Amino acid sequence: MSSGNPTPRAPGTLALRTMALLAVAFGLLTLKEGGSVLFGSDAARAAAGAYVPFVLWFNFGAGFAYVVAGLGMGLRQRWAAPLAALIAAATALTFAVLGVHIAQGGAFEMRTVAAMALRTTVWAVLAWLAFRHLGRQHSPDLLSK
């Protein structure tokens, strides 16, 4: 007979589910929006304005990684944390290259700068939270040797 108490959950379950849903939704939205510009009509490309092709292709490809990382977080897989960190680092690097492109006089949309700032921040936070909730994979501690 049930005592009326809910089944205890693993620590961080709500946080991981929230992170997973955010990552998957962000990935699916990225794929939809990027795909519409890359593979859609001329009108979709025109609406995108002065988009930067390498940023668009990077973000579209990263959208698949967002979904995989989100599914990994939702399934409490430890590999999701380093994947989230890799996404954050690659996004930051692409953002930096965008900065070089802009500094050299390349065409761009200010919304691209805002979107890259958002993506970099979101994935840095998701990576930090993933490591916090999923723990580090078995990696050597180089500082303790």
pLDDT in tens, 62-78: 999 999 999 999 999 99
Is residue 55 packed enough to be buried (19+ CB in 10 Å), middle (13-18) or exposed (0-12)?
Answer: buried
13 confidence band (pLDDT: 50, 70, 90): confident
Q: Which residues of 99-124 are buried (b: 16+ CB within 10 A; e: fewer)?
A: eebeeeeeebeeebbebbeebbebbb
Residue 3 banded pLDDT, cuts 50, 70, 90: low
The pair of structure tokens assigned to 38 is: 């890359």
The whole-chain average pLDDT of the chain stands at: 88
> What are the sequence ranges of the domains in the chain?
13-135
Specify the pLDDT at position 15. 86
- Does pTM top 0.75 for this prediction? yes
Quick check: 132 pLDDT over 80?
yes
